[in-house]
Amino acid sequence: MNEILNKPVKSARKAKGDGHLRRAEILRAAERIFIAEGYEGATIRKIADEVGVSSTCLYMHFRDKDQILLEICTVAMEELLAMNSEFAARPVDPVERVRMMLTAYVEFALENPNAYRLIFCASPLATSDQKQRITLELGAQCFERFSGVIREITAQGRLKIGDPRTVHQAMWSACHGLVSLMITKPNVDWAEPKEITRVMIDGLLFGLITD
C-alpha cells in the first residue's frame, strides 16, 4: 500500500510489446499518475513517460485520459458486480452470503487500492462526467445485488433494527471507512487485514441480524 503514496518514477523507454500486455501496463501506470497528480494533473505525456513509451504509442491504445480513467473504473466496478452477483446467487443462508460479499469487498479494495481510491475516494469535481455516470450505474447494480440479500434476511424476520436500505448503507459505510483508512494511512500499525475485517463484519452482523 505504500506505493500509492510514492511519486511515480519514469521508466526507461521500452520496445513495442503485445497489445493487451501494453494496454494493461498503461492502465496500471495511469492509476499511479491519477493518484499522485490528480485528474487535472495527469496528462498523456506523464502516463506515457511512466510506462516508458511515446505519447504516439499510448494514443494507439487510448484516445485520451478520459478513456483511460473510464476503463480503470469500469473494469474494477464490473469485477465488483461479478463478485456480488456470484455470491448473491449462492444457495446458502443469506447471512452467510452477506458475510462473503462484505469480505470480498474489503479484500478487493485492499488488493486494488489505486482503483478503489479513483472510484470511491476521488472528488467528483476532479474526474470526468462519463466516469461518474458509468460508476454510478454499475454501483447501483452492485447495490441491488446486496440489497436483495438483505431483503431476504428481512423477509425472514431476522433484522434487529433498521430497514434493508439503512442496514445496507450502514454496512457499506463501515467497510468503506475501514478500507479507506487502511489505504490512505499505511503508517498506522494496523491489525492483520483478514482479522480486522472478520472482527468488523462479525460485529456488524451480530448487532444488526439475529441468527
Q: In this predicted model, what pLDDT tens digit does every residue of 116-161 receive, in sequence order?
A: 988 888 765 456 677 777 778 888 899 999 999 999 999 999 999 9
> Would the pLDDT of 13 be above 70?
no
Asked which of 6-10, 75-79, 143-147 is least confident by mean pLDDT, the reply is 6-10
Same domain, 94 and 149: yes
Residue 154: what pLDDT? 95
Same domain, 81 and 126: yes
Same domain, 95 and 51: no
Q: Look at residues 130, 190, 140 and name the one whose alpha carbon lies nearest to residue 165.
A: 140
Instruction: Name the residue with higher pLDDT: 91 or 24.
Output: 91
Same domain, 9 and 107: no
Label residues 25-39 b or e (16+ Cβ within 10 Å = b).
bbbebbbbbbbbeeb
Q: Give the global pTM.
A: 0.81
Same domain, 9 and 41: yes
d(CA 21, CA 15): 12
**Per the structure, how many domains does the chain have?**
2
Residue 73: what pLDDT? 87
> Would the pLDDT of 29 be above 80?
yes
Query: Which tens digit of pLDDT belongs to each residue from 180-210?
Result: 999 999 999 999 999 999 999 999 999 999 8
Same domain, 77 and 121: yes
Tell me the pLDDT band of 69, cut-offs 50, 70 and 90. Answer: confident
Only one residue has cell 464490473, namely 78
Same domain, 53 and 72: no
Residues 6+ apart with CB under 8 A from 160: 207, 208, 209, 210
Residue 1: what pLDDT? 44
Same domain, 158 and 170: yes
- Bridge partners, 159 (sequence order): 209
Tell me the pLDDT band of 17, cut-offs 50, 70 and 90. Answer: very low
Average pLDDT over residues 98-106: 96
Asked which of 28-42, 99-113, 185-199 is least confident by mean pLDDT, the reply is 28-42
d(CA 139, CA 142): 5
d(CA 204, CA 152): 17
Residue 124: what pLDDT? 56
Residue 183: what pLDDT? 94
Domain of residue 150, residue span: 66-208
